[in-house]
Amino acid sequence: MKPRQNEQESSVPLLILGGGCAGLSLAYRLARSRRSPRTIIIEPRQTYSDDRTWCGWALTPHPFSDLVAARWKSWWIHTDRGSQHVTGSPWPYEMLHSAAFYERTLAAIDASHEIALWRGQRVSALEDHTDGVQVTLESGQRIHARHVVDTLPRPERLVAPWAWQDFAGLEIEAEAIDDTSPPDLMDFRVATRDQLDFIYRLPHAPGRALFEWTRFGRPASNPHTLRQALIEHLDTRLPEGYRILREEMGSLPMAPPAATSHGNRVVAGAYAGSMRAATGYAFHAIQRWADDCNAALLAGKPPCPPRRRPWLERLDRVYMTAIGQHPDEAPEFYRQLFARVPATSVVRFLAGVPHWRDTLAIMRSLPSGPFLRAAWHSTFPLPTQGDSS
Ligand X SMILES: Cc1cc2nc3c(=O)[nH]c(=O)nc-3n(C[C@H](O)[C@H](O)[C@H](O)COP(=O)(O)OP(=O)(O)OC[C@H]3O[C@@H](n4cnc5c(N)ncnc54)[C@H](O)[C@@H]3O)c2cc1C
Residues that bind ligand X (CB under 6 A): 17-23, 42-45, 52-56, 122-123, 151-153, 248, 250, 269-270, 280-283, 286
* Residue 1 DSSP one-character state: -
Query: From the CB of 247, what's the least distance to ligand X, in Å?
Result: 9
Query: From the CB of 288, what's the least distance to ligand X, in Å?
Result: 12
Q: Closer to ligand X at the Cβ: 326 or 348? A: 348
Q: How far apart (Å, rounded) are the C-alpha atoms in residues 140 and 6? A: 11
Query: From the CB of 318, what's the least distance to ligand X, in Å?
Result: 22
63 prior amide bond cis, ω within 30: no
Q: Closer to ligand X at the Cβ: 153 or 241? A: 153
> How many distinct helices (H) and strands (E) make up the chain?
9, 17
Closest residue to ligand X using C-beta atoms: 20
Alpha-carbon separation of residue 229 from 188, 193, 251 (angstroms): 14, 16, 16
Query: From the CB of 169, what's the least distance to ligand X, in Å?
Result: 7
Q: What are phi and psi of 184, to 5 degrees?
A: -100, 110
Q: What are phi and psi of 291, to 5 degrees?
A: -60, -50
Q: Closer to ligand X at the Cβ: 17 or 297? A: 17
Query: From the CB of 220, what's the least distance to ligand X, in Å?
Result: 13
Q: Closer to ligand X at the Cβ: 286 or 366? A: 286
Residue pair 115/109 in contact by the 8 Å Cβ criterion: yes
Q: Crossing angle for the helix pair 330-340 and 310-325, nearest 10 degrees?
A: 130
Q: Which of 99, 121, 93 is nearest to 21 (CA)?
A: 99
Q: Closer to ligand X at the Cβ: 69 or 363? A: 69
Q: Which of 107, 144, 100, 116 is nearest to 39 (CA)?
A: 116
Residue pair 126/265 in contact by the 8 Å Cβ criterion: yes
Residues 61, 65, 68, CA angle at the centre, nearest 5°? 145
Query: From the CB of 179, what's the least distance to ligand X, in Å?
Result: 18
Q: How far apart (Å, rounded) are the C-alpha atoms in residues 307 and 263? A: 17
Which residues lie across from 169 on neighbouring strands?
212, 248
Query: From the CB of 351, what's the least distance to ligand X, in Å?
Result: 9
Query: From the CB of 372, what's the least distance to ligand X, in Å?
Result: 30
Q: Closer to ligand X at the Cβ: 165 or 378? A: 165
Q: Closer to ligand X at the Cβ: 183 or 331? A: 183
Q: Closer to ligand X at the Cβ: 122 or 262? A: 122
Q: Closer to ligand X at the Cβ: 14 or 17? A: 17
Q: How far apart (Å, rounded) are the C-alpha atoms in residues 24 and 41? A: 8
Q: Closer to ligand X at the Cβ: 127 or 328? A: 127
Alpha-carbon separation of residue 92 from 96, 182, 277, 359 (angstroms): 13, 11, 22, 20
Query: From the CB of 380, what's the least distance to ligand X, in Å?
Result: 31
Residue type, 308: R
Q: Which of 182, 177, 178, 180 is nearest to 73 (CA)?
A: 182
Q: Which of 96, 98, 179, 131 is nearest to 12 (CA)?
A: 131
Query: From the CB of 172, what's the least distance to ligand X, in Å?
Result: 16
Alpha-carbon separation of residue 261 from 101, 187, 304, 371 (angstroms): 27, 38, 9, 33
